[in-house]
Amino acid sequence: MGGIATSMFALLFATLAGGLWIGLALAATGALLLAIYRPGIPLDKLLSQYAWNILTTQELLALPLFIVMGEILFRTRLSKSLFDGLAPWAALLPGRLLHVNVVGCSIFAAISGSSAATTQVVGRMALAELLKRGYSKDIAIGSLAGAGTLGFLIPPSNIMIIYGVLGDVSILKLFTAGAIPGILLAGLFMAWVMIHATLKPSMVPASETALRSMPLMQRIAALRDLAPALFLIVAVLGSMYGGLATPSEGAAVGVAGALLVAGLQGGLTFAALRQIAVGSVLTCSMIAMILLGASILGSAAAFLGVPQAVGNWVTGLGLGKHMLIVALIGFYLVLGCFLDGFSMIVMTLPIVMPIVKAAGFDPVWFGIFLVLVVEMSQITPPVGFNLFVIQGLTEDGLGYIARVTLPYLLIMVLFTMLITFFPQIVLWLPETLAGGK
């Protein structure tokens, strides 16, 4: 069995090092393993069955719909609306308008389900405005990169959909489980911004006189700018948690709502619709190829007994539950330096899932754990998608962006350990809602 596992990792490394697309590399590795170790198997029929099973999964329908929704919102004036609505209130806190990054990303995360889209949309408006007003580039970029990762944790989340489909876990339970951790992590980011700004007052400009002296009624009136975002949150999450829609139907509601918002803001031009269609097809095709390849490799590995063998080996190491989590955090941090979040999950889940189940971890809890470590990978060079997004906005070097983002990475590591010692942070809400039905 050790030879099969070694062959699998060697083939996967060779195909990836050779420059083959990740989806094709995964599929080729799975097919070659079956051809080498089970030569009599009808490989053509088996691979076609794997492809049909994964690509016709009903729960997967929500993913392309959320991607379309994100593409539509990217071309609206939602980022300006978020800034205008949040700035009068954020100016009252230590750190002032830097909190627009965190709260704005939290709100957009509850709409888009994508970390990169959250960082891009909020950063497009907020970052330029913060730098123009005299805020330190270090803390402005760091808070944006860190808060942008919330796009995967605060529901709805594309990563949770992938995990739910591959791990056979309720997507709605995952969405519910991510709500409290998402709010708490956003709160920790805001706390660090306040501490950092208090310790280093030069990070923020001397005053925000106009915003700080704004009358209360004018502040309340500014909240109207948040109406489009709140409308979409209520439409998407409200329809699902209210029992009116499944995750796939909720995603369809979100697309309709995004089209309405874009239309009212004058963003539905023919050119914009073409860009939305092309961008959605490219993203969906990439993810579908990765999922298909992962399904082939995962099924081949399971057929050959690789997950069970690796699980027995890890169990033989005698690691405790908490040491296992520490080892997994280190493993995914290293993996995140080379792979994107989708690829990390689909490549490792067939092997890691049996191990964590054997250790007694709840699959819903582990889904949130995986989301958190994938979030970390978004801000670890050299393949940190959020770092690339911010580099495109600022033209700064990846090393500099990663350095100013480091405090937020450490906060995520500590928060992951917190939910490990106190799993009810994740499980309380889904268990409460399930018990109330």
The residue assigned the tokens 């911010």 is: 390
Instruction: Determine the Cα–Cα distance for residues 229 and 231; give it in Å rounded to an integer.
Output: 5
**Residue 374 neighbours by CB distance under 10 Å:** 27
How much is the pLDDT for 417?
92
Instruction: Give the contacts of 433 (CB within 8 A, at least 6 positions apart).
Output: 176, 241
Q: Which two tokens stand for residue 245?
A: 């829609």
Instruction: Determine the Cα–Cα distance for residues 213 and 193; give it in Å rounded to an integer.
Output: 22
Report, in this order, helix, strand and coil percent for the chain, each rounded to 5: 80, 0, 20
Residues in the chain, overall count: 437
How much is the pLDDT for 102?
93
How much is the pLDDT for 338?
62
Which range marks the domain in which residue 21 is found?
A: 2-435
Q: Which two tokens stand for residue 62?
A: 């929500």
**Residue 243 neighbours by CB distance under 10 Å:** 9
How much is the pLDDT for 20?
79
Instruction: Determine the Cα–Cα distance for residues 231 and 44; give it in Å rounded to an integer.
Output: 48
Buried b (16+ CB within 10 A) or exposed e, 343-352: bbbbbbbbbb
Number of domains in the chain: 1
How much is the pLDDT for 436?
52
Q: Which residues of the chain have pLDDT under 70?
A: 1-2, 59, 207-210, 307-308, 310-311, 314-315, 337-340, 382-383, 435-437
How much is the pLDDT for 1?
53
How much is the pLDDT for 29?
84
Q: What is the pTM of this model?
A: 0.81
Buried b (16+ CB within 10 A) or exposed e, 276-298: beebbeebeeebbbbbbbbbbbb
Instruction: Determine the Cα–Cα distance for residues 317 and 333; give it in Å rounded to an integer.
Output: 21
pLDDT by residue (tens digit) across 185-212?
999 999 999 999 899 888 888 766 667 7
